Amino acid sequence: MSAPLASAPLISDDERQRRHKAVEYARNSLRLEGFVLDQDTERLNARYIAGEITSEEHSAAIRRSAGVS
C-alpha cells in the first residue's frame, strides 16, 4: 500500500467542518469567560481542523501548553 499523496486531504470535509465548529464553540466559550487564546494554541487548533493531528494529540498538546498533565 502506498503512502497518501501530500496534496490528498487528511480528513473529510464533513469532519473538517465538525472540528471547526467544535473549536469555534470552545473559543467562544473561553471568550465569554474573559480568555483569549494565544497564537500557539490557535496554531494547534488550525492543525487539528486540517486533520494534521488527532483529537487526542490536540487535547494533549493544549494540556501541555497550559501546564496540566
9-38: per-residue pLDDT in tens? 689 999 999 999 999 999 999 999 999 999
Q: What is the pLDDT of residue 10?
A: 83
Q: Does residue 18 fall inside a structural domain?
A: yes
Q: Does 53 fall in a domain? A: yes
The answer to whether residue 27 sits within a structural domain is yes
* Structural domain that includes position 17: 13-66
- Residue with grid cell 497564537, as numbered in its chain: 39
Residue 8 lies in a domain: no
**pLDDT at 52 > cutoff 80:** yes
pLDDT attached to residue 28: 98
Q: What angle do CA 36, 39, 40 make, to 5 degrees?
A: 115
pTM of the model: 0.83
Number of domains in the chain: 1
Does residue 7 sit within a domain? no
